[in-house]
Structure 1
Amino acid sequence: MQIGESTGHSRAGGNLVTTRSRMDPRPCGDDASLRRDVNPASCTVIWRFHDDKSGHINQTRGLVKAIAEITPVETFDLPCFSRRQSCLWWLGNQFPPGENLKRPDLILGAGHATHFALLAARRHNGGKAVVLMKPSLPHWLFDLCIVPDQDGLEKSENVILTRGVLNVVNPSRSQQQERGLILIGGPSSAHGWDNPSIINQIGAIVSNQPDVNWHLTTSRRTPADLVMLLEHLPLPNLTVVPHTSTSLNWVPEQLTHSSQVWVSEDSVSMVSEALTSGASVGLLEVPENYEGRVSQGVQKLRDLGWVTHFTDWDRTRPISTTRVNLNEAQRCATLLCNKFDLVRTV
């Protein structure tokens, strides 16, 4: 086993002009490159609220990136504010954080903490409020809800249902048979955790395929003691890169070239990224606390043949699953731009 460190960064192209933060008006895009040939006056202005949770950030990044492939955009990032403060702004028709920003065409957010901020910003500044989840407020309060199909909402005029969650990954035809990726989540309300079981599954996968160079990364939910155990596994074809050592684009870059991806079944976002890449996807078994929407969604994927569960894997051969033509960010961006008439020429 080797311990790795990420050094690579990539920048998305398309029509994305610049990403700016509320506190710093200078261009600072994590997923943007400055396009000097685009007239800012022709851009769709997007305000993107974030709660510092990587899964939520990747959902809005994925949608912005896909919209930018259709029409020029200019994006401003805003942090979440307390629900009480945002609710007061909403009720009082105020939104001080947006005073010096261009008025938005779209206001995006993922995570319950963003809901009242979206509504306050829209009431005071206009634009369309789009939430990327099943909202904890009535869905008719928002102009559009983009919701995973297992979350219990029905498709309607302002609800788009998706397979999994949106992400920044593009389908790839550059997978290499000698490269594999393992993505580890952690305990959650829906799932418990079993370090020895995870270690045994990873050991079986890596040792049974000695010709594959495996990279493994973790998430913020991964127990710290598991990371220490992984770093001391006697597996020469495994490189462990903790999530704290990865760049924002490390996982998408790895997915571009990995023919096999194993994901712990607790993480809907990482499963969605793996499927979007077009790789063969396997699921590591994790204890369930109860049968809920996550486990139901996983079972649907197994029934479709889109994933192979570790308990179903034939250890004599690499996993082989149905290649999925899945790019939900692109599909939702097209529907959104058509719905709100956002397609503009440069």
Structure 2
Amino acid sequence: MMPEPLRILCVGDGSPGHEKQTLAMAEAFGRISSVELRWFRVPQGRAFAFYSRIIALTSPILPFFQNSVLKKLGWEEKGFSPHLIMAAGSHTHGILLLFRNYYKARTLICMTPDFWVQKQVDLVLSPFHDGKKQGSVLLHTLGPPCRRSHPSLRNNDQGLILVGGVDASSHIWDTKILIRQIEDLLERKSSMRWEMGSSPRTPEETEDALTLLADKYDSLSFTPFAKTPPGWVESAYAKSTEAWITGDSMSMVYEALTAGCRVGVLPVMWVKKSSKFQRSLDYLHDQGWVLYPGEEATGEPPLLDEATRAAEEAVKRWWGKN
């Protein structure tokens, strides 16, 4: 029988992208049962990353470390006995396993961990583009679990443009091509008003060009990443009917889909022609989830809610509730 309320401990690493996935899962469980939620955030930096890997390797065979490590890290809520412990990001895995052994709780990890970590947890949410074989522990998801938005705020004349940036290992960044893509979009959809945001990876040269573009078009406003307040992008998803996102920003593609936006992709040039990210985008395109430049949407966007699907599957496996 499923616990009521379900006590959840989330292990965070300070990364907004990682913690949004964990929070999305906590909210999804909260749609099934009442939830009591606590957070424990691990220290940041390379030194702790190495420490966390050592803990992950030794936690099954050195249980006497548990109390001393938790005390050293400042865990003060030992009376909060969780039924479920969740995390995302490799820095969190060692501490998650430590909590697992201490509390004998269920464990769930977002994103595919190292093999020896995977062998010790109850459920892994693995994006299908990682190419890992689905099994009793590993559950494929269409992208990361994402938070829902509030569709009542949506404005049919409002659009959103999200710009990624440099990652030399995966793609070639070209500001001039990007500006042409955005100009074409603005000309085709001149009746809409557009908000545009950048990311921590966006080069200064690109942000300068986006600023000039916003000065040129009355229908476009641009907020550089450094000036966006917390929750800016979630608010923008909620009120936008369309979101056009550069292809390197895969997590935002899935966030916008889950928020109920009709999503378009502004292509980038991949370093590898067989890029797993492009395969994912092509799959989404073939299934009608996303548009490419020049295409128009027909009908309502398909509903995507992988967090709820994964939570329902976990509850069914662990507590037998449909």
- What range is the shorter-chain TM-score in? 0.7 to 0.9
For the residue of structure 2 that corresponds to 1:186, the secondary structure is coil
Instruction: Please name the residue that 2:289 is paired with.
Output: 306
Check 1:306–1:322 CA distance in 2 against 1; reply closer, same or farther (3 A cut): farther
For the residue of structure 1 that corresponds to 2:115, the secondary structure is coil
Q: Is the 8 A contact 2:123 2:138 kept in 1?
A: yes
Check 1:228–1:132 CA distance in 2 against 1; reply closer, same or farther (3 A cut): same
1:70 equivalenced with 2:32 (yes/no): yes
Structure 2 letter corresponding to 1:92: L
User: Aligned partners of 1:341, 1:54: CA distance in 2, in Å?
Assistant: 30
Check 1:333–1:247 CA distance in 2 against 1; reply closer, same or farther (3 A cut): farther
1:176 equivalenced with 2:138 (yes/no): no
Instruction: Please name the residue that 2:49 is paired with.
Output: 83
- List aligned pairs for 1:233-272, cutoff 5 A: 233=213, 234-272=216-254
Instruction: Please name the residue that 2:177 is paired with.
Output: 197
Instruction: Please name the residue that 1:114 is paired with.
Output: 92
Structure ranking higher in helix proportion: 2
TM-score normalised by the chain length of structure 2:
0.84
Alpha-carbon RMSD: 2.3
- The CA deviation at 1:99 is 4.6
- The CA deviation at 1:248 is 3.6
Instruction: Please name the residue that 2:122 is paired with.
Output: 143
- The CA deviation at 1:338 is 2.8
Check 1:84–1:277 CA distance in 2 against 1; reply closer, same or farther (3 A cut): closer
User: Aligned partners of 1:223, 1:115: CA distance in 2, in Å?
Assistant: 32
TM-score normalised by the chain length of structure 1:
0.79
1:185 equivalenced with 2:185 (yes/no): no
Instruction: Please name the residue that 1:17 is paired with.
Output: none
- The CA deviation at 1:238 is 0.7
1:124 equivalenced with 2:102 (yes/no): yes
User: Aligned partners of 2:15, 2:179: CA distance in 1, in Å?
Assistant: 26
Check 1:268–1:278 CA distance in 2 against 1; reply closer, same or farther (3 A cut): same
Instruction: Please name the residue that 1:295 is paired with.
Output: 278
Check 1:301–1:44 CA distance in 2 against 1; reply closer, same or farther (3 A cut): same
User: Aligned partners of 1:340, 1:57: CA distance in 2, in Å?
Assistant: 23
- The CA deviation at 1:321 is 7.1
User: Aligned partners of 1:83, 1:125: CA distance in 2, in Å?
Assistant: 23
User: Aligned partners of 1:342, 1:183: CA distance in 2, in Å?
Assistant: 41
User: Aligned partners of 1:142, 1:321: CA distance in 2, in Å?
Assistant: 41
User: Aligned partners of 2:207, 2:320: CA distance in 1, in Å?
Assistant: 45
Structure 1 runs, 4 residues or longer, greater than 6 Å off: none
User: Aligned partners of 2:149, 2:309: CA distance in 1, in Å?
Assistant: 12
User: Aligned partners of 1:68, 1:341: CA distance in 2, in Å?
Assistant: 15
> Structure 1, residues 170-216: CA drift from partner, whole Å, max 9, x if none?
47366433110111122233222111111111122123322211001
Check 1:277–1:84 CA distance in 2 against 1; reply closer, same or farther (3 A cut): closer
User: Aligned partners of 1:109, 1:143: CA distance in 2, in Å?
Assistant: 12
- For structure 2, the 5+ residue unaligned runs are none
- For structure 1, the 5+ residue unaligned runs are 1-40
Instruction: Please name the residue that 1:5 is paired with.
Output: none
- List aligned pairs for 1:312-331, cutoff 5 A: 313-314=294-295, 319-320=297-298, 323-331=301-309
